[in-house]
Structure 1
Amino acid sequence: MSQPRAIIPGATYLLTRRVLRRHFLLRPDSAITQLIIYTLAVSARRHGILVHALCVMSTHLHLVVTDTQGQLPRFLQQFHRLVALGTKVLRAWEGPMWAPGAASVVHLTTRDALVEKIAYTLANPVTAGLVQHAHEWPGAKTRADELGSGALHAKRPEAYFNPKNPQWPEEAALPITLPPSVQTIDADNFRRAITYKLEQYEQQARATAERNRYKFLGAARAYEVSPYERATSIEPLRELNPTFAVGRGHTEERKAAIASRHAFQIAYRQSLQHWRDGVRSAVFPAGTWWMHVFHGAVVNDGELVAA
C-alpha cells in the first residue's frame, strides 16, 4: 500500500511524468507542442493550478506548479489523460502511453528548492546532451525571464478535441506566474537566481560533454527523431522517490519536513483504522484528499479539503 500524501492548498511542486519504456512519443514537433500547451492551459485553469516552469522532453515532461485549491490529483488526472489521448491520435499509438506508476510529485518547501528545481526543469535538454543552451530546445518550454510576465498560447488541436464541445475553447493561454511565496518586489532577484543556477547546469553539461568527447545532438536532429524509437542510453535505477525538497544545506528545514510528513502519515493511519472499524465520525488530518473526496470523511476539525 502506498504512503498517504497530504494535499495542501497553496503548496508548490515539481511534477515529472515519463513515457512508456522511454519511447520518443513527445518528440518536440509543432503538433505535440500545441497539444501540451493547450491541454496544460485548459487543465490548469479548471483546477486552480499556477504554472511556473515547463519543459517537455521526448521521453518525459517536467512542471513546477502551485496547487492553489488543493486539486492537484484532479489536475494530474485530467492533464495526463488529455495528453495521452491526444498523443495516441497524433502518433497512431495503441496501448498505454505513460510509464506504469503515478507521476513524481515533489513538494518544494523553500525558496532555494524553488530556484534549484525550476533551473533543473529548464536545463533538462542541456543536461540530457541535446542542446548546448536551454533556449535552443524546440519543444514546449518556458524561460526564466518569463516568470511573472510571460504566457504561452495554443489553438485547439484538430486531433481529438471536438470543436462543438464548449469545454474546449478555440484558443487557450497559459500564464507563467511567479510562485505565490515570491513577492513581486523580489521578482527580479528570483529570476536572476534561477538564471544563475541554470547557467551553472549548462556549464556543467558542456564540461561533461567535452570531457567525455561527445557532441550535443542538436535541435534539428531532436525534432526529426522517430517518435517510435526508444532511448538506448543507460538510465540508473531510481532507488529513491522523494516527496519533498528543501534545497542544499537546509538541514533544519529538512528535519521539519520529515517530521511533518511522518506526523501526517501516523494521524492518517490512525483515522483510517477508525474508519475501517466503522467509526464514520473519524477525523482525518489536514491535507487528506482521497477519503474526503470519495468517501465524505471529515478533515481536521471539520475543515474540509475542497472537492
Structure 2
Amino acid sequence: MSQPRSIVPGATYLLTRRALRRHMLLRPDAAISQLVLYSLAVSARRFGVQVHALCVMSTHLHLVITDVDGVLPRFLQFFHRLVALGTKVLRAWEGPVWDHEPTSVVRLMTPAAVVEKVAYTLANPVVAGLVSRACDWSGAKVLVDELGRGMLRAMRPDVYFDPTNPRWPDEATLALTLPPGIAQEDADSFREEVAVELEGQEEQARMALQRQGSGVLGPVRAGEVSPYRRATSVEPVRGRNPTFAVGRQQPEALQLAATAVRAFRAAYRDALASWRAGVRSAVFPVGTWWMRVLHGVRVEESAVLA
C-alpha cells in the first residue's frame, strides 16, 4: 500500500509522469506539443489549477503547478487521460501510454524549492544531453521570460476531441501565473533567480557531459527519433521518490516538513485503523482526500472541497 498523501488547497507541486518503459512516445513534434498544451489548458481551467512551468521530454513530462482548490488527484486523472488517449491515436499505439509507477508528486515547501524545481524543469533537456541550452529544446516548454506572464495556447487537435462537443473549444488558452507568495512587483526578481539557477544547472550538465565524453544530440535529431524506441541511458529503478522539497541548505525547513509528513501519516493510519474496525466517527487529519471523497469520512476541517 502506498503512503497516504496530504492534499490541501493552495499547495505547489513539481509533477513528473513517465511514458511506459521509457518509450519516446512524447517525442517533440508539432502534433504532440499541440495535444499536451491543449489538454493541459483544458484540464487546468476545469479544475482551477495554476500552471507555472512545463517541459515535455520524449519519455516524460514535468509540470510545476499550484492546486488552488485541493483537487490534484482529479486534475491528474483528467489531464493524463486526455494526453494518453490522444497519444494512442497519434502514435497508433496499443496498450498503456503511461508507466505503471504513479505520478511523482513533490510538494514545494519553500520559495527556494520553487526556484530550484522550476529551473530543474526547464533544464531537463540540457541534463539529458539533448540540447546545450534549455531555450533550444523543440518540445512544449516554458521559457524563463514567460514565467508569470506567458500564455499557453493550442488549437483543438484533430484526433480524439469531438469538435461538436462544447467541452472542447476550438482553441484553449491558459495564462502562466506566478507561484503563491510572489507578488507582481517581485516577478522580475523571481525570474532572475530562476535564470541564475537555470544557468548553474545547465553548466553542471554540460560539464558532466564533457567528463563522460558525450556530445549533445541537438533538437533536430531529437525530433527525428522513433517514438517507439526506448531510452537507453542508465536510470535507477524504484529509487527514492521524495514527496516534498525545501531547497538546498534549508535544514530547519527540512526538519519541519519531515515532522509534518510523519505526523500526517501517523494520524491517518490511526484513523484508518479505527474506521476499518467499524468506528465510523473516526476523524482523519487535514489533507485526507481519497477516504473523504470515496467514503465521506470525517476530516479535521470545518469545510473541505472535493
Give yes or no for TM over 0.5: yes
Letter in 1 for 2:221: R
Cα deviation 1:119-155 (Å, max 9, x = unaligned): 0000000010000011110100001111111111000
SS at match of 1:224: coil
CA distance in 2, matches of 1:159, 1:110: 40
Question: Could you tell me how far 1:77 is from its partner in structure 2?
Answer: 0.3
Question: Could you tell me how far 1:105 is from its partner in structure 2?
Answer: 0.2
Question: What is the correspondence of 1:1-307 to structure 2 with a 5 Å cutoff?
Answer: 1-301=1-301, 303-307=302-306
TM-score w.r.t. length of structure 2: 0.98
CA distance in 1, matches of 2:252, 2:48: 31
Letter in 1 for 2:26: L
Letter in 2 for 1:152: L
Letter in 2 for 1:78: F
Question: Could you tell me how far 1:185 is from its partner in structure 2?
Answer: 1.9
CA distance in 2, matches of 1:54, 1:174: 12
Question: Could you tell me how far 1:173 is from its partner in structure 2?
Answer: 0.6
CA distance in 2, matches of 1:245, 1:227: 32
Contact preservation (8 Å) 1:292, 1:305: no
Moved more, 14-23 or 200-209: 200-209
- Unmatched tracts of structure 2, length 5 or more: none
CA distance in 1, matches of 2:278, 2:186: 51
CA distance in 2, matches of 1:277, 1:210: 59
SS at match of 2:188: helix
CA RMSD of aligned residues (A): 1.0
Letter in 2 for 1:42: V
SS at match of 2:239: coil
Question: Could you tell me how far 1:276 is from its partner in structure 2?
Answer: 1.3
Cα deviation 1:254-305 (Å, max 9, x = unaligned): 110011011111111111122112222221111010111111112104x243
Cα deviation 1:82-122 (Å, max 9, x = unaligned): 10000000000000111112100000000110010000000
SS at match of 1:12: strand
- Number of equivalent positions: 306
SS at match of 1:13: strand
Letter in 2 for 1:291: M
Question: Could you tell me how far 1:238 is from its partner in structure 2?
Answer: 4.1
Question: Cα distance 1:17–1:63, how it changes in 2: closer, same or farther (>3 A)?
Answer: same
Contact preservation (8 Å) 1:52, 1:65: yes
Percent identity (aligned): 63
Cα deviation 1:195-228 (Å, max 9, x = unaligned): 0010111112222223332220001001111101
Contact preservation (8 Å) 1:289, 1:305: no
Letter in 2 for 1:306: L
Letter in 2 for 1:183: A
Question: Could you tell me how far 1:170 is from its partner in structure 2?
Answer: 0.8
CA distance in 1, matches of 2:235, 2:287: 34
Moved over 6 A (4+): none
Letter in 1 for 2:265: Q
SS at match of 2:66: strand
Letter in 2 for 1:94: E
CA distance in 2, matches of 1:270, 1:230: 43
CA distance in 2, matches of 1:153, 1:90: 20
CA distance in 2, matches of 1:284, 1:35: 39
Contact preservation (8 Å) 1:126, 1:133: yes
